[in-house]
Structure 1
Amino acid sequence: MTTVVGLRAAARVEDAVKTYGLGDTRVRALDHVTVEFPVARFTAIMGPSGSGKSTLMHCAAGLDTLTAGSAWIGDTELGTLNDRRLTVLRREKVGFVFQAFNLVPTLTVRENITLPLDLAGADGDQEWIDALIDVVGLGDRLAHRPSQLSGGQQQRVAVARALAGRPQVVFADEPTGNLDSRSGAEVLGLLRDSVDTMGQAVVMVTHDPVAAGYADEVLFLADGRLVGSMTEPTADRVLDRMKALDARTADGISDGTAARTSSEGADGGERR
């Protein structure tokens, strides 16, 4: 299990299994994964195509259900909730940032930012929202529609929307996938600042080693299993690890040693 001493988990999965299909077409997307995502921590999830990284995020966030095992947001086990209670929990405790922005085209920037609060019938903390608007640098664009913004500006709106309700954890799925390098750096900087200055928990799925370099820790998945982690990541170190995982996948090797030893090693260093 990946843990940080002294920090409680904003979200976690325990012995998580997710399978799709039946018989010969059955695929195990997650294979007994246990991991914690602490508060005030930026965690990146990486792995080769088909490694299970998006499945892990979706199940941890309550967007998909596990076949076996458990997923938790704070002290609440998601599998104990009916659809209505799960929807309420996601709205109140979880923020989402997606590659496709997912802004409502007919709403203004301000209305998009406050949309989760409006759907919940809550006023929210206006001082907090004003501070978010200032942080994302769109105070002069609040009356604009998404179509009047650049891609980077739209994603900054999406980040502000995810943070508006002070969620317990923000899940970001390839948040810079549709952005140029400069806009991507701005969005990643916002996520990094939300961790450092607001104590936010951020979990990001990415294929980009540069994006992963903004995280406190990178988790590596292969064949549906946690096969290692890296603290204090840099783009070069992450790229080297990904090359090794890609080669392993291409060779069809499935070795559980790394997963069993991923929590070993000194704090602040690389754990294999």
Structure 2
Amino acid sequence: MSQPLDAPASPRRPGAVVATGHDLTKVYGEGETAVTALAGVSARFVSGEFTAIMGPSGSGKSTFMHCLAGLDTPTSGSAWIGDTDLASLDEARLTRLRRERIGFVFQSFNLLPTLTALENITLPCDLAGVSPDPAWLRELVSALGLSDRLGHRPDQLSGGQQQRVACARALASQPAIVFADEPTGNLDSRAGAQVLSFLQMSATMLGQTVVMVTHDPVAAAYADRALFLADGRLVHEMTDPSASGVLEQMKTFDAGQQQVAR
């Protein structure tokens, strides 16, 4: 990767609250078949912070992220981006907020196969009817090592390059917050480390807020803190997580499940 990115045109206020989940509950179904995915989870996310959300399968970590990002509607509780309550928005305004203030990075890349790397990167801006800042865009693609790949389509790129295009797309509009859902799940260790290093740098050097769902203790170690969910509840928080510390915490969930099974 090349030299670090320049700061965004509109510097973020350090420590400003960017997103909030308050007592988020999500129940699927009704009566005896009801399944509680979230059971009153609250957390705040501030500018310049990289947060990993961890937990065993079925813990509610992806549901929590989807509610925070306006991709799913909580049964009760509230999700805020800045001072905007997502429940107060109709579908058109919610779509606009997601385009303008939220970036997404998914495990499956979600690139359009008929578009070039550059066209994929600028797609959210194009849909919003705005142009990305040219200097910012140049710095972004340079930092991600994509300057000589902008004319290539996804099938001409490696998995790591495709995910870096997805990262550039998420940051092109300089969003308030970036949500990453298992962003290294389809990558080898080297490509995954490049993506995680960039997400880490975007938080530490650019003041970007990053929230990442992951099951990987090594990935979580790139974050400033890790939130642990189990059975739809927030059960532990760890600052400056290490891979070994996260692994030990995850083992407690496995031990708990074994005791329940007995």
| 2:158 paired residue number | 150
Residue number among 51, 55, 75 corresponding to 1:47 in the alignment: 55
For residues 67 and 251 of structure 1, what CA distance do their matches in structure 2 show? 30
For residues 166 and 36 of structure 1, what CA distance do their matches in structure 2 show? 20
| C-alpha distance after superposition, 1:193-243 (max 9, x if no partner) | 100111000000000000000000000000100001100111001000001
| 1:261 paired residue number | none
Residue number among 245, 252, 255 corresponding to 2:253 in the alignment: 245
| 1:8 paired residue number | 16
| 1:226 paired residue number | 234
| 1:139 paired residue number | 147
CA drift of 1:105 comes to 0.5
1:206 and 2:217 correspond: no
Q: Kindly indicate whether the alpha-carbon contact (under 8 Å) linking 1:28 and 1:224 is maintained by their aligned counterparts in 2.
A: yes
| C-alpha distance after superposition, 1:153-176 (max 9, x if no partner) | 000000000000000000000000
For residues 15 and 140 of structure 2, what CA distance do their matches in structure 1 show? 25
Q: TM-score, normalised by structure 1?
A: 0.90
How is 1:1-272 mapped onto 2 (pairs within 5 angstroms)?
Answer: 7-252=15-260
For residues 177 and 118 of structure 2, what CA distance do their matches in structure 1 show? 22
Equivalent position SS for 1:87: helix
User: Identity of paired residues, percent?
Assistant: 63
RMSD: 1.0
Moved over 6 A (4+): none
Moved more, 202-211 or 123-132: 123-132
Unaligned runs of 5+ in 2: 1-13
Q: Kindly indicate whether the alpha-carbon contact (under 8 Å) linking 1:222 and 1:249 is maintained by their aligned counterparts in 2.
A: no
CA drift of 1:252 comes to 3.0
CA drift of 1:33 comes to 0.8
Counterpart amino acid of 1:17? T
CA drift of 1:19 comes to 0.4
Moved more, 205-214 or 116-125: 116-125
Counterpart amino acid of 1:169? I
Aligned residue pairs total 248
Equivalent position SS for 2:184: coil
For residues 109 and 55 of structure 2, what CA distance do their matches in structure 1 show? 23
CA drift of 1:125 comes to 0.7
| C-alpha distance after superposition, 1:55-86 (max 9, x if no partner) | 00000000000100100011100000000000
Moved more, 32-41 or 211-220: 32-41
For residues 182 and 92 of structure 1, what CA distance do their matches in structure 2 show? 31
Unaligned runs of 5+ in 1: 1-5, 254-272
Counterpart amino acid of 1:238? V
| 2:5 paired residue number | none
Counterpart amino acid of 1:139? S
Higher relative contact order (CA 8 A, sep 6+): 2
